């Protein structure tokens, strides 16, 4: 069922996905993808799901259902106005000292999934995501707001930046993982 494959991709995407990209990922015709998106949207609507599909001519994104907007806004306000958690601070430190850095590298260093933490840091305006044109891997770096909050003009002004930015143990860990991924099984 193409709609379940579409749903899986939309669930992990943090931004709209083009029908063209979905078509390429699923190795299906774009009209089949569009039909699957419409089928999925109807399923959500028929069952009164907590999320819906926002779509235009080029893109589609999984969003929360309109009837829950107030609830979601309250949750997000609480998430973005409270203090940062220890895992959020750890992730932010990795991005500040090692950035731009991929999600996979952050997770390798921390040893846990960081999807929600990255989302929260982006909502707070502390971290930016940019897409690499060559390998399509999003990279994360700290924002100007983060630097301004700390009263510095660049990440290199952070304490012990040189030592942590070029840490041999971390570099070796990342190199080993990269070599492991490149080795055919």
Contact 143, 125 (CB under 8 A): yes
Each residue's pLDDT expressed in tens, for the chain with a length of 185 residues? 898 999 999 988 877 899 999 999 999 999 999 999 999 999 999 999 998 889 998 999 988 888 888 887 777 666 656 778 899 999 999 999 988 988 988 998 888 988 889 988 998 889 999 887 777 788 999 999 888 888 888 888 889 888 888 767 766 766 766 665 555 55
Which pairs count as long-range contacts for 110-115, CB under 8 Å and 24+ apart, including other chains?
112/87, 114/87, 115/12, 115/14
Residue 174: both structure tokens together: 């990342």
Q: Which of 36, 74, 157, 155 is nearest to 64 (CA)?
A: 74
**CA trace torsion 17, 21, 23, 26 (10° rounding):** -90
What is the structure's pLDDT at 37?
Answer: 94
What is the structure's pLDDT at 178?
Answer: 62
Q: Which of 85, 117, 147, 95 is nearest to 14 (CA)?
A: 117
Domains (ranges, CATH) in the chain? 2-67 (1.10.10.10), 83-182 (1.10.10.10)
Q: Which of 25, 64, 50 is nearest to 36 (CA)?
A: 25
Residue 57: both structure tokens together: 């001519």
What is the structure's pLDDT at 167?
Answer: 67
What is the structure's pLDDT at 24?
Answer: 93
What is the structure's pLDDT at 28?
Answer: 95
What is the structure's pLDDT at 177?
Answer: 64
């Amino acid at each position: 069922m193409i709609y379940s494959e579409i749903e899986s991709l939309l669930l992990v995407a943090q931004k709209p996905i083009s029908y063209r990209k979905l078509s390429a990922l699923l190795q299906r015709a774009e009209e089949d993808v569009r039909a699957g998106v419409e089928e999925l949207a109807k399923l959500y609507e028929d069952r009164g799901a907590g999320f819906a599909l926002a779509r235009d001519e080029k893109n589609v994104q999984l969003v929360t259902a309109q009837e829950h907007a107030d609830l979601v806004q309250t949750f997000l306000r609480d998430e973005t106005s409270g203090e940062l958690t220890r895992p959020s601070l750890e992730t932010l430190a990795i991005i500040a000292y090692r950035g731009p850095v991929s999600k996979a590298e952050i997770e390798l260093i921390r040893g846990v999934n960081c999807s929600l933490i990255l989302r929260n840091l982006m909502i707070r305006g502390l971290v930016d995501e940019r897409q690499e044109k060559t390998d399509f891997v999003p990279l994360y770096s700290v924002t100007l707001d983060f630097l301004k909050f700390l009263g510095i003009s660049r990440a290199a002004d952070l304490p012990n930046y040189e030592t942590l930015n070029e840490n041999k143990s971390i570099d070796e860990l990342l190199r080993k993982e990269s070599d492991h991924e490149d080795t055919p099984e």
